[in-house]
Amino acid sequence: MRTHLQILLPELEHLTIESEVTFALIYKREHITRQGNATLRQLAQQFATVPFLLMVHTLDTVHTTIRIPPVKKAQQAMAIQSRLQQMLLAPLQQHLFCYEPLPDHAFSVAWTERAPLQTLLHSLHTLGVNRVLMQPICLSKT
């Protein structure tokens, strides 16, 4: 993403389209051209054409490290999902998860419940924001 709007979300139980959030408009992945606080509705109205990167609060995610046997890169996602399903108390489809590779066949994995974020995504799409990415803060490099 060349230019995107990075948004720090509050805890999901307090999140609505009227929630005030901290944001930064980032140009070419590193230059902050604007930052401040605004409601999600205001950001959607002002920056609808810019991709949104929603940073999910650390209290709303579970973060762990898992190891899987050596597999081809094309099979990694399925192996991680299989290992993750063993750890979850609900079906995998009720969660959103992401991972990044670590040395020695290990992966840093984070997940959160899907339902609260789907409500937010629906509200953003209704306001015209169509490009939304999500990332847990615990896996953020910025």
Judging by DSSP bridges, how do beta strands 3-8 and 52-56 pair with one another?
A: parallel
In angstroms, the Cα distances linking 122 to 3, 18, 27, 74 are 23, 14, 26, 31
- pLDDT tens across 27-60, in order? 876 788 899 999 999 999 999 999 999 999 988 8
Nearest to 40 by CA among 140, 129, 109: 129
CA–CA distance, 30 with 2 (Å, rounded to integer): 9
Domain ranges of the chain: 3-59+114-139, 60-113
Q: What is the pTM of this model?
A: 0.81
Rounded (10°) CA dihedral 84, 85, 90, 92: 80
CATH class of residue range 3-59+114-139: alpha beta
CA–CA distance, 117 with 128 (Å, rounded to integer): 16
User: Which of the residues in the chain have pLDDT under 70?
Assistant: 1, 29, 141-142
